[in-house]
Amino acid sequence: MKKLRNIICLLVAALSLTAMQSCKTELEDRYQDPEQTDIPNIRAFMTQILNNSRLRSEYWHYRTFVLPHHARYTQTTYFANNNTMYQQSDSYTNDYWRDFYSPGMLGVYRAMERTYDALPEAERAEYDAFMHATRVIVYGQAAKLVNNFGDIPFSEAGSLPATDQIALGKFDDQKELYDQFITAFTEAAEYFRTYQTTNDFVRADIINRGNSDKWRRYANSLRLRALMQISKSDEGRARTDIMTMLNAPEMYPLIDGTQTSLEEGGRHDVLNQKLTTYTSSLLDAVRELNSHYAPDYMLNTVLKTANDPRMDMLFGKYGKTVQNVFTPNAEFQALPITTTEAAADAEYSNAALRRYAIVDSTTSWINSNLPGILMTTSEVNFIKAEAQERWGSTASAQTAYETAVAQSIDFYYYLNNASSNTGAKVARPSAEAVQAFIKDSNIAYTGAAQAKLQLIGTQKWLHFGWLQAEQAWADYRRTGYPVLPAFPISNLNGFQNPPLRLLYPSNEVTNNSMNYEAVRSKDTRTTRIFWDID
């Protein structure tokens, strides 16, 4: 029986890989270089990878992956208090896995690598920028997979478009993968230090518009993020490398708001702007899960008690409607996290009640202009603040922290005012009001070192919110901040609490069963990722 089962598994894998072979042929056909019709087009490969829907703020990614998983596990969204609230969706996880591997981002990248390697040595330099930029994106997304799952197939994954050989990839060690990613980010930053952009690169680069300085900064910032992520498991290396970077900003420029080589009106953040043909929004993604209800801790404890100016950008007070007359609520208030699903639905479905706030529709979920968020200046300065507080100067930490909060306010103001939603936009807070909030409210940078680290972690979590909940979950597991209220306990056996990692999708377990045996013992909801040190 066991032998028969193995044969069946191999047949399923072969069928899957046959589909991958057709995808490989399709990739080569689609990306032929118009100047050399027998050579796939490296420039088009790069654009295709940058145009991946998982890098954008689109329905499927949020509805099926971020909102039902990461956003719940971090309390950055409301979720129904029921027995399945922490249960991972295997089918949707399969989709996410497929969108990275084949025919997704990594599959295209392997075809791109093969095309590059086939070029004469003298011609490769022309395409080095495309390879470095694409590698930065692919490795940045691969780091997210490690954060979600731990060990993943990588070094041997995508062998079919790379070699025409069917080979099932081993699961690479997660720590070794992080080392590989950090090295690649370092090399890319060094390459873009002297790179002079070309018209071809500008046309292919739909994210940074060919700005080599911004690619250098983005690569350095991804390196900084990765080093901070491993700072509890390898503090010596993280401390040395991070402080070297922070002490020499001219050698290691970052996405921190200091770039001067931006086009007029350009933002320092790394954003994947929506396609001109895209007219949809996250309306259904949010509404189908009732994720438009305001989350308890974020609104009631973090924002409201500080009278945070981001409240109006992130939430709406909502209100009741009686005899066709709408009366807004007097203040912001979110449902307690302990509210039952039935009570929450009754509250929001009854127009005469609706006493609790909702997520602001103009800023986020009814906004077809919402970009994909890859990296913000605020995140980078929060990382700088944590590093300085742990290993450097608390005065420098305060400067970075206060800069990060101000940048977060500016970022959400930008999302709100650039929205496609025709509703009322929020007025920009004055610089004086922002500084008064930062200096005089309960978020002021005071107290012992641990209290300051908690402030940094809490404000960074707030900035990430549900839009960047994947990163919020990685940070929450690493730092333990913010100190969230107790999660409701589910009665579903095995899913009583949020997990520490996601389970591998069943398609990978089945189709790559022999390699899966090496990680089977780690494939539990309670296994920690290597950087998650209790």
**Other beta carbons within 10 Å of 2:** 6
Q: Is residue 310 part of a domain?
A: no
Please check whether residue 527 lies inside any domain of the structure: no
- For residue 31, the enclosing domain spans 2-281+369-522
Residue 317 lies in a domain: no
Is 110 inside a domain boundary? yes
Rounded alpha-carbon distances, angstroms, from residue 191 to 130, 220, 247, 249: 11, 11, 21, 17
SS (H, E, C) 140-187: HHHHHHHHHHCCEECCCCCHHHHHCCCCCCCEECHHHHHHHHHHHHHH
Q: Supply angle C-alpha 65, 68, 70, rounded to 5.
A: 75
pLDDT tens, position by position, for the chain (534 residues)?
333 334 334 333 433 443 344 444 444 444 444 444 345 699 999 999 999 999 999 999 999 999 999 999 999 999 999 999 999 999 999 999 999 998 799 999 999 999 999 999 999 999 999 999 999 999 999 999 999 999 999 999 987 666 677 779 999 999 999 999 999 999 999 999 999 999 999 999 999 999 999 999 999 999 999 999 999 999 999 999 999 999 999 999 999 999 998 887 789 999 999 888 888 999 999 999 999 999 999 999 999 999 999 999 999 999 999 999 999 999 999 999 999 999 999 999 999 999 999 999 999 999 999 999 999 999 999 999 999 999 999 999 999 999 999 999 999 999 999 999 998 899 999 999 999 999 999 999 999 999 999 999 999 999 999 999 999 999 999 999 999 999 999 999 999 999 999 999 999 999 999 999 999 999 999 999 999 998
How many structural domains comprise the chain?
1
Q: How far apart are the first and last CA of the chain?
A: 42
Identify each DSSP E strand in 360-472 by its residue range.
372-375
Q: Is 172 helix (H, G, I), strand (E, B) or coil?
A: strand
Please confirm whether the linkage preceding 253 is cis (ω < 30° from 0).
no
Q: Is residue 184 part of a domain?
A: yes
179, part of any domain: yes
The label of the residue with tokens 């690479």 reads 172
Please name which of 330, 310, 311 lies closest in space to residue 320, comparing C-alpha atoms.
330
Q: What is the pTM of this model?
A: 0.92
Domain containing residue 380: CATH number: 1.25.40.390
Alpha carbons within 13 angstroms on the beta-carbon side of residue 221 total 27
Sign of CA dihedral 41, 46, 47, 53: positive
From the number of C-beta atoms within 10 Å of its C-beta (0-12, 13-18, 19+), residue 491 rates as exposed
Cα–Cα distance for residue pair 101/142, rounded to 1 Å:
10
CB 179 within 8 A of CB 530: no
**Token pair for 318:** 């909502």
The answer to whether residue 104 sits within a structural domain is: yes
Q: Three-state DSSP class for 69?
A: helix
Judge whether 300 lies within some domain: no
Residue 165, token pair as written in the block: 């050989």
- Torsion region of 95: left, alpha or beta (phi above 0 gives left; psi -120 to 50 gives alpha): alpha
